[in-house]
Each structure stands twice: as C-alpha cells, then as structure tokens.
C-alpha cells in the first residue's frame, strides 16, 4: 500500500513525486517513456530558484524578446535585470524524474488505464510498456498529472472532459550557428514571437533558441489548420529552411484552469491535467511545477488528517497566487488575438517602455508588480486607444 500514485512524469508529476518522497511518503510515478511535449522551453528565474534547477539544464539565456506583427513590423523588448532560461524537454523532463527517484519515489513505465476501488484502497491499473501486461498499484491517493487530455481527469473529476486547448506543433532544428545553410536574422540570445494570422489564426508562432538547437513552432484552436505547413512557412520567413530537422512533436496545450481539481475522495489533478497554462503566452512549465507542488501539499494534508476536503487546497493555493495574472492574460488574448488588425496593435503596444518593463518584471517574478501609478495609467490609456481604434495600429 502506497501513500500516493502519481500518473504522469512531466514537470508537474515529477515535482509532486519528488516533494512527497522528500516528506517521507511512499510514492510511485507512472509515466510513458519517450514522450516529449512540444514546448518552447522558456523558464523564468523564479522557477530556477524555487526548484533548484542547475546551470547544466539551461541551454541558453535570452536577453531580448522580438515581437513580429502581421506586416513584419519588429519590436524588440530587452529583458532588463534578468533573463529567460531555455531548456529542452527531451533532457529537462528526465532530469526531474531522476531527481524524484533519488528522493525515494519509485517509477513504473507504462500507460494509465483506469482506477478501481474497494474498501481498503484505490487501485491504479496501467499497461506496462516492457511486457504489455496490465499491472496494478494500490494507494491511498492519486495525483493525475497526465496532460491536457488527461485520462485521470476525464474519468474522475467533474468537468475534466471539457477542457479547452490549442494544438501546439514544433520542430527542433539545428541552430544556424551549428548547421550549414539558413540563419536569416536568428539570434541565439533572442526569442522571436510571431503574431500573424498566416502562421496562427488565433495564437502565435515562435523561434526559441536552445543553444545548439532551436524550437520553431506554433499553436492554434482552428479546426483543419495545417500546422506543419504553417511551421514550414515560419521557418522560411525566419531564414531557417536550410537547418536540419532533429525531431517533430505535437500535443494539446490547455487554455483555462478547470473549475475543480479533485474528486472529493482520493484524486487531485496537477499541471496540464488541471489546465494551468497561462493564457496569451502559453507558458506552462513554471505553472505545471507549481501545480505539482500544491497538489503534493494538498495530498500531504489529506494523508495527515484523513479529510478528503484537504484536496481542495491545491486549486485554492494555486489560484490565490496566480488567478489575477491568468485573468489579465486571458483578457489580453481575447482582446488582441482575434484578428491581424488587433495583432498589429498588440505589437505596437509592446513598443511602450512601461509595457516592456512591467511585462518582464511580472514574467520573472510571476506576479503583477507594483510600479509607478502613472505607468499603469499610461498603459491603460494606450490600451483603450488601440482597442477603440483612436490611434493607428502602427503607432508607437
């Protein structure tokens, strides 16, 4: 009999498993081997500090973000007093899993099937990859951290089968500095974010450096949109067509936190399974790891007290700290991602020094920061002026 079974070995699941093991709890981690989620790989300094990420995992330190509009207007946003760290999920996720194992968690490689219950225990049934046979593990609690279309969420948590998501697709390529052909305006210390309906009709495209490689991709909710064709066009426009492709990956990315993360009995969700990816930016690694941490804390409280209501603490703790940021980013996505004319205005707004400073301070610290009241007033006035069309879309 285990204390907790964690389903899913990405950043959320691995973090939950490690935290529980470090608290002396018996925990098993079930994950599918070899799956790499498409991800730009950006992590803020707060994540590096909060989760003790070593320098060996940081493949690049980004000092500038370039916003590119539908008319190819470029606005560079310098990152003052900090940087954006870049990781490759191919290496980052296994690092987190191995750290959980060193803390005392056990790992099983396989695919979740279902949960069964009796009077004494909750039983997780999974198909073992090595043998193809069904195996069982018994525990007091289960943490579902198995992605945006979580089987655990669909089966166990009300509303878990209706989470909205975009489909993300990217190609990992050899960086121009390490490959023959291609290059364009590529900068190994700059992230490019492309707001163009031809690349993504409702989200954005990206070119993110990873040291010797780079992630080039996009996301969309639009049905029937050709993600591979859009990525090919993005590579061509960035001068990266001649760079060798290392691998291709696609997966759903949730857009909104679920209203409920637990079943009131023995299951709590974390990470993408709970829908915790930031609107507008699509940032997920930090929020996944924080989701894993609060799920572990809620599980510990439940194990100590025997009260299943303690599982509610996971969502409560997460939303207390991040609800306002998610609401602001959601409003921004709704306002500016709906048309190329709005995207043009959004990139124009990014030219504002106050917007640049507050954006990266909020990103690096993961909270809306206080600044000069006049800065907020100026941003608010420019935002209203753009949305109402009082100033030209290309105005600075």
The yes-or-no verdict on residue 314 having pLDDT over 70 is yes
Higher pLDDT, 351 or 91: 91
Distance, CA of 296 to CA of 19 (rounded, Å) = 6
Q: What is the pTM of this model?
A: 0.90
**Which helix H or strand E contains 225, and what residues bound it?**
none
Helices (H), the chain: 11-22, 45-50, 89-103, 151-156, 227-237, 285-305, 313-336, 340-349, 353-365, 373-388
Q: In the chain, pLDDT over 90 holds for what percent of residues?
A: 72
Mind listing the domains of the chain with CATH numbers?
A: 2-40+88-163+256-322 (3.50.50.60), 61-85+164-254 (3.30.9.10), 326-388 (no CATH)
Which of helix, strand or coil describes residue 218? strand
The pLDDT confidence band at residue 378, using thresholds 50, 70 and 90, is: very low
The yes-or-no verdict on residue 205 having pLDDT over 60 is yes
pLDDT value, residue 22: 98
Give residues with Cβ within 8 angstroms of 110, minimum separation 6: 30, 32, 126, 127, 128, 129, 135
Higher pLDDT, 283 or 217: 217
The yes-or-no verdict on residue 87 having pLDDT over 70 is yes
pLDDT value, residue 382: 47
Overall average pLDDT of the 212-222 stretch:
95
Q: What are phi and psi of 60, to 5 degrees?
A: -155, 155
Instruction: Quote the distance between the C-alpha of residue 111 and its chain's center.
Output: 22
- Each residue's pLDDT tens digit, 101-146: 999 999 999 999 999 999 888 999 999 999 999 999 999 999 999 9
Q: In the chain, pLDDT over 70 holds for what percent of residues?
A: 91
pLDDT value, residue 369: 52
pLDDT value, residue 130: 94
- The pLDDT mean for the chain works out to 89
The yes-or-no verdict on residue 181 having pLDDT over 50 is no
Most confident of 79-88, 98-107, 326-335: 98-107
pLDDT value, residue 198: 95
The pLDDT confidence band at residue 388, using thresholds 50, 70 and 90, is: low
Helix, strand, coil % over all residues of the chain, rounded to 5: 40, 25, 35
The pLDDT confidence band at residue 179, using thresholds 50, 70 and 90, is: very low
With contact defined as beta carbons under 8 Å apart, do 143 and 18 qualify?
Answer: no
């Amino acid at each position: 009999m285990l204390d907790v079974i964690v389903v899913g070995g990405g950043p959320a699941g691995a973090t939950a498993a490690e935290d529980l093991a470090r608290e002396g709890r018996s925990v098993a981690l079930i994950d599918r081997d070899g799956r790499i989620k498409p991800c730009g790989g950006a992590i803020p300094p707060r994540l590096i500090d909060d989760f003790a990420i070593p320098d060996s995992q940081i493949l690049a330190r980004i000092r500038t973000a370039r916003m590119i509009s539908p008319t190819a207007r470029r606005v560079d946003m310098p990152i003052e007093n900090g940087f954006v760290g870049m990781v490759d999920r191919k290496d980052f996720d296994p690092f987190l899993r191995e750290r959980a194992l060193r803390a005392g968690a056990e790992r099983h490689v396989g695919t979740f099937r279902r949960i069964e219950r009796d009077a004494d225990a909750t039983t997780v049934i999974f198909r073992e990859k090595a043998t193809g046979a069904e195996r069982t593990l018994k525990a007091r609690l289960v943490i579902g951290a198995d992605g945006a279309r979580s089987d655990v969420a669909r089966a166990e948590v009300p509303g878990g089968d209706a989470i909205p998501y975009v489909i993300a697709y990217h190609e990992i390529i050899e960086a121009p500095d390490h490959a023959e052909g291609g290059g364009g305006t590529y900068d190994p210390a700059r992230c490019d974010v492309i707001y163009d309906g031809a690349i993504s009709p409702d989200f954005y495209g990206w070119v993110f450096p990873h040291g010797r490689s780079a992630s080039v991709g996009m996301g969309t909710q639009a049905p029937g949109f050709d993600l591979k064709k859009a990525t090919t066009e993005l590579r061509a426009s960035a001068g990266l067509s001649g760079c060798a492709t290392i691998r291709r990956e696609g997966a759903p990315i949730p857009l909104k936190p679920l209203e409920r993360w637990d079943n009131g009995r023995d299951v709590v969700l974390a990470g993408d399974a709970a829908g915790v990816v930031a609107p507008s930016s699509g940032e997920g690694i930090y929020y996944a790891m924080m989701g894993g941490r609060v799920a572990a804390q809620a599980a510990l409280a439940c194990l100590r007290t025997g009260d299943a209501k303690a599982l509610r603490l996971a969502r409560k703790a997460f939303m207390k700290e991040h609800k306002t940021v998610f609401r602001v980013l959601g409003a921004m996505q709704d306002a500016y991602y709906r048309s190329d004319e709005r995207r043009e205005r959004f990139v124009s707004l990014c030219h504002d020094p106050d917007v640049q400073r507050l954006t990266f301070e909020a990103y690096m610290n993961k909270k809306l920061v206080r600044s000069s009241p006049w800065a907020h007033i100026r941003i608010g006035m420019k935002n209203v002026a753009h949305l109402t069309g009082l100033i030209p879309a290309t105005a600075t």
